[in-house]
Structure 1
Amino acid sequence: MQIPQIRIQTTKAQLGLNIQKPKQHIEQPQADLQISQPAAELSIHTTSGQLHIDSSQARRDLGLIGPLEATRNYAQKGKQAALAGIARRAREGEQLASIENGGNALQAIATSKATPHKKPLGIKFVPSINSVKTSYIPASVDINVQTYRAQIDATINKPIHNYTQGKVTGYMLQYPSIEIDVTI
């Protein structure tokens, strides 16, 4: 006995896909930047130092004096010498006027003029110590600086963004099928 047979054959469906990938382009332009730095202002004020040197005493010690002071000194010495001469002549006149009282007035006058004057010996420092006087007023410096902040202007540019969407399309590579075969 033969048994009837059913034979079923199927073919699976196959789907194909066409894929277009999306395209994206992003660009970021640099920011527009402007920077300016104002120059600082600098002012310097100085007061000069002052050095005072008084060497008049040292010059006097060396015999270097000005014409006005020399004239005063010579006038003073001349006046003293004239007064000393007058006093000496008056003294000698009194000695000669009292010659009748005895004594050797002429001899005393002559010996006083013949005796040399003694000068002291010793070391003399010319000019004298501490004869030059100095004083100093130091200089002063005043510095003023005025600084300014930098001026920064920044303009941010938006990004450039281009986007093309992707696309997916499907198609049938193979259609499904069923074949049924019956044999008896």
Structure 2
Amino acid sequence: MQLPQIRLESQNAKLNLNIQKPVQEISQQSADLTIEQPPATMTIQRTPGRLTIDQTLAWENLDLKSPMRRAEENASYGMSVAFETVGRIAEEGNELMKIENGGNPIIDQVIRNSETETTFDTGSTPSQFSVRVNYEPVNLTIDWDLKKPIINVDINKPIHNYTPGKVTGYVSPGQSLSIDFIGVNVDKIK
């Protein structure tokens, strides 16, 4: 005896995904930069140094005097000699006035007046600090006028391109179910 059977054949559906990845492009251009540096200016003010040497005293020590200095000394010497001479003449006059008191005032005056001293000065070695030296140093003033740099920057925005990704799903080969009846005779009804 043959039993009737139902035969089922099924095939599962497969889900497939088609993935298209996203694309992202980013580019950044460098900034546009301009730098300008104006030159600095410098001003210099200079007062030259000054050296003065006074050797008048050294020359006077050597008896090499200027005409003005020699005239001053001669005038001073002349005045002192004149005063001494006036004093001496007055004293001699007083001695002669008192001649009656005795003595030889005339002979004494002749002897005194004949004894004159003369000095001749050939000069001497200048003293150690007879040359006066004075120096005023150089005065130097330097001024700088510094200029700041001029910087201009133009920033470029980034370039951004984006293509989104895609996912598409599909079923393959498809779901199927087949049913077969085996061993069954079916009478037809007329």
TM-score category by the smaller chain? 0.5 to 0.7
What is the aligned partner in structure 1 of residue 24 from structure 2? Answer: 24
After superposition, what is the alpha-carbon deviation per residue over 1:89-127, rounded to whole angstroms, capped at 9, x for unaligned? xxxxxxxxxxxx997x89x968986998799xxxx6533
The C-alpha deviation readout for 1:51-93, integer Å capped at 9, x for no partner, is 43322111211223334444665687789899999xx9xxxxx
Aligned residues: 178
What corresponds to 2:53 in structure 1?
53
Using a 3 Å threshold, how does the CA distance of structure 1 residues 2 and 32 change in structure 2: closer, same or farther? same
Q: 1:34 maps to what in 2? A: 34
Conserved? CA contact 1:59–1:127, under 8 Å: no
Instruction: Note the 1:76-95 alignment, pairs <5 A.
Output: none
* Contact 1:62 1:126 (C-alpha < 8 Å) held by counterparts: yes
State the one-letter code of the partner of 1:150: P
Identity %: 39
**How far did residue 10 of structure 1 move?**
1.2
Deviation at 1:133, TM superposition (A): 3.0
Greater Rg by CA: 2
Say which is worse superposed, 166-175 or 36-45, in terms of deviation: 166-175
What amino acid is the match of 1:54? Answer: D
TM-score (norm 1): 0.62
Instruction: Report SS of the residue matched to 2:58.
Output: helix
C-alpha deviation, 1:175, in angstroms: 1.3
Q: Is the 8 A contact 1:9 1:178 kept in 2?
A: yes
Aligned twin of 2:152: 153
Aligned to 2:179: 180
SS of the residue corresponding to residue 8 of structure 2 reads: strand
Gapped regions of structure 1 (runs ≥ 5): 89-100
Q: Deviations over 1:18-65 (max 9, x none)?
A: 333232221100011111222233323233343433221112112233
Q: 1:73 to 1:150 in 2, by over 3 A?
A: same
User: In the aligned structure 1, how far is the partner of 2:177 from the partner of 2:84?
Assistant: 170
CA RMSD after TM alignment: 4.6
Q: TM-score, normalised by structure 2?
A: 0.60
